[in-house]
Amino acid sequence: MNKKSLLLIFLVFSLIFALVGCVEKKEYNIDDYFLELTYKDDFKILQLTDIHFNNKDDHQIHYKFMDLTIKDANADLIVVTGDLFTFADKKTAIELFEFIDSYGIPWTVCFGNHDEQAYFSIDWLTDLLNHYGNNCLFKDIKDDNVHGRSNFVINLMDGNNIHTQIIVMDSNKLNFSYFGYDYIKESQILWYERVVNRAKELNGGNIVESILYFHIPLPEIDDAWAKAEEGSADAILESGEKRENACPPLNNTNFFNKILELGSTKAINTGHDHVNNFRIKYKGIYLTYGIKATSYIYYDDDMLGGLSLTVKRDHSLEYTDYFHTYSEVE
């Protein structure tokens, strides 16, 4: 091999190493994902889901419609669990966030599988939310080695103690593939474990209870429904209906088993399936669908509005359904 060939090989390897270096994700400090909000008695979280705004329509009637639910609930925090947009542009996104922010209530967002189907990049959207202002509790760390773009925690602080953790995660993208819908990745499950263990450490070794919010339900949603229908003691249907097949991912990364093992999370709140709104207490954990917030894409007239979850001081949880129809605003 001559000198020229050796030099070429050296340059090719240098380039590969440089590129690998560029895409390498950073190890993270778990405390960097923790945001704080003050806990108060009967802390109420309003979940809105699957708004699906596009760039074409005048959304005024939908703002009036969502206003009914937001005023009804009078919540302490609003969580929008994904699919805020389908082919929206920057103006639509800014208008929607201005609307939510106008209530002066703390609010947050996780992404759904449609939120990257837009006339903006997911980088633009996360930057906007990362720097939105005081009411918006959102934190995406771009170059971490945790998969997804909306993994963070809102610690409800009772003095110096964490009363409850609200853990927000990205159930990932419009990656409809061999594995069906996208799924929560191993790096996110490891991140979740670190979140729970860090809270336990901060709480003198005692587990801190938590509530999860993300978009696509876990594969166990089907087991929970089947067992509830069989009358299993492990799966109690608390409320709601199943009007369509659930669409969880086909690939099960065992997140639910990790949740059971760690013993912190008491409720997993999702959206995604527009005409399911059931909640089942499965193996001691609520598997819960929200209630769709607007009439975009597909919906049922009598299954629109929002869902709240009240976190009591004694850590018991209480759900409230808010149903509205568009006849109230037309």
Contact residues toward Fe ion (CB under 5 A) are: 50, 83
Given the complex with Fe ion, which of 83 and 223 has the nearer CB atom?
A: 83
Given the complex with Fe ion, which of 100 and 146 has the nearer CB atom?
A: 100
Given the complex with Fe ion, which of 48 and 154 has the nearer CB atom?
A: 48
Least distance in Å: CB of 112 to Fe ion? 6
Given the complex with Fe ion, which of 83 and 170 has the nearer CB atom?
A: 83
Which residue has the CB atom at the shortest distance from Fe ion? 83
d(C-alpha 236, C-alpha 89), whole Å? 42
Given the complex with Fe ion, which of 227 and 292 has the nearer CB atom?
A: 292
Least distance in Å: CB of 274 to Fe ion? 6
Least distance in Å: CB of 298 to Fe ion? 9
Given the complex with Fe ion, which of 93 and 259 has the nearer CB atom?
A: 93
Least distance in Å: CB of 87 to Fe ion? 13
Least distance in Å: CB of 271 to Fe ion? 6
Given the complex with Fe ion, which of 76 and 83 has the nearer CB atom?
A: 83
Given the complex with Fe ion, which of 192 and 296 has the nearer CB atom?
A: 296
Q: How far is CA 82 from the centre of its chain?
A: 6
Least distance in Å: CB of 28 to Fe ion? 30
- 322-328 LR contacts (CB < 8 Å, sep 24+): 322/46, 322/68, 322/69, 322/72, 322/73, 322/291, 323/291, 324/65, 324/68, 324/69, 324/72, 325/301, 326/61, 326/65, 326/295, 326/301, 328/65, 328/68
Least distance in Å: CB of 60 to Fe ion? 21
Least distance in Å: CB of 63 to Fe ion? 19
